[in-house]
Amino acid sequence: MQTFAQAKLKVGDKAPDFTATDQDGKSISLSSYSGKKVVLYFYPKDQTPGCTEEACNLRDNITQLGDAGWVVLGVSTDDELSHKEFQKKYNLPFSLVADKDKTINQKYGVWVEKERDGKKYMGTARTTFLIDEKGVITSVIDKVDTKQHASQILTY
């Protein structure tokens, strides 16, 4: 099993830039959000229970997040079509970034070894990075409460 030595990013680090495509096949770069506060949340898989809870909690609180100045971007290793179906089914009002080659996951140190039922595998660690207007990480939420994620973000 291949593992990656990328250290997990921490508060005060510059958020690594990336360019990938969203659910509509449009190119999206973190640097294009310069001057805005970004919630960059990594989640394991579209249409799974925990990921759906998390996305819907962010959706249901998008007005409060926006009022607090946050732009939300979701990232998973699913492809654009999967993201489009997920976005459409749950009426998600934010972009979902397709990280099919796991480059963004690796840059942020969230592509990790996991274990389920005694079997080890590589996957995305559910993690949220709060990034300020200058592109600096101001908070890392690695114990995400999928049902109350917006509240976690708004308390920072």
Asked if residue 14 belongs to a domain, the reply is no
Distance from C-alpha of 156 to C-alpha of 154, rounded to nearest angstrom: 5
Q: How far, in Å, CA of 99 to CA of 93, rounded? A: 19
Model's pTM, two decimal places? Answer: 0.94
CATH of the domain at 115: 3.40.30.10
Contact 15, 137 (CB under 8 A): yes
Domain limits at 67? 19-154
**C-alpha span between 133 and 35 (Å, rounded):** 4
Length of the chain: 156
User: Do residues 48 and 15 lie in contact, with contact meaning Cβ atoms separated by under 8 Å?
Assistant: no
Q: What is the mean pLDDT of residues 134-140?
A: 97
Q: What is the pLDDT of residue 156?
A: 80
**Residue 4: inside a domain:** no
Which H helix or E strand runs over 29? Answer: strand 27-29
| 5 in a structural domain | no
Question: pLDDT (tens digit, 9 = 90+) per residue, 96-133?
Answer: 999 999 999 999 999 999 999 999 999 999 999 999 99
Q: Is 51 tagged catalytic?
A: yes
- What confidence tens digit (pLDDT) does each residue in 15-38 have? 999 999 999 999 999 999 999 999
- pLDDT at residue 1, as a whole number: 34
pLDDT value for 5:
41
The per-residue pLDDT for 3 is 40
Residue tagged 């229970």 (tokens):
49
Is 26:118 a contact under the CB 8 Å cutoff?
A: no
Catalytic residue among 20, 40, 51, 55: 51
In a domain, 11, yes or no: no
The span from the CA of 84 to the CA of 89, in Å, is 8
